[in-house]
Amino acid sequence: MDVVIFPDIEQLLVDYLNTELPNRGYEVSVHTQIPNPRPETFVTVPRVGGPARNRVVDMATISCDSWAIRPKQAHDLAQMVRGVINALPGKALDGYPIYRVTEFTGPGNLPDTQSQHARYTQAFSILVRGYVAE
């Protein structure tokens, strides 16, 4: 039986969003965790779990946090991230097909009390195809 490896969905999303968001007018950086030093506006996309759907498809759960100084900025950024991620089915990221995106929670207002940043958080399940290890 072949060994199937799933791609690093966090890095695929970081690369994709770091290209796609500026193309849509959002000059922000995307990371898997809060960067140091902390910019005024940024997005984080850590994988927070999710099982394999079957032998060749991973069902990654991704938390997406959109950070900004003002709540309206964080909200608008979260809505753009939401739209861009929901548009992924049928595309391939670095050659890995994205089959489905399921939105668990839409953007919720969850300010960061330590930094005083506005933050909107949301979660998705992303189905991505793996590859056979050589």
Tell me the pLDDT tens digit for each residue of 7-49. Answer: 999 999 999 999 999 999 999 999 999 999 999 999 999 999 9
pLDDT at 127 over 90: yes
Rounded distance, CA 120 to CA 44, Å?
A: 11
Which H helix or E strand runs over 118? strand 118-129
Rounded distance, CA 110 to CA 65, Å?
A: 9
Strands 47-49 vs 57-68: parallel, antiparallel or unpaired: antiparallel
pLDDT at 63 over 90: yes
Rounded distance, CA 89 to CA 73, Å?
A: 27
Decide: pTM greater than 0.85: yes
For the chain, how long is the longest CA-to-CA vector? 52
- The domain in which residue 16 lies consists of 4-132
pLDDT-derived band at 99, boundaries 50, 70, 90: very high
Rounded distance, CA 20 to CA 76, Å?
A: 15
Residue 122 confidence (pLDDT): 98
CATH of the domain at 55: 3.30.2000.30
Given a contact cutoff of 8 angstroms between Cβ atoms, the answer to whether 89 and 68 are in contact is: no
Residue 43 confidence (pLDDT): 98
Residue 44 CB-density burial (10 A; 0-12 exposed, 13-18 middle, 19+ buried): buried
pLDDT at 114 over 90: no
Residue 78 confidence (pLDDT): 98
- The number of distinct structural domains making up the chain is 1
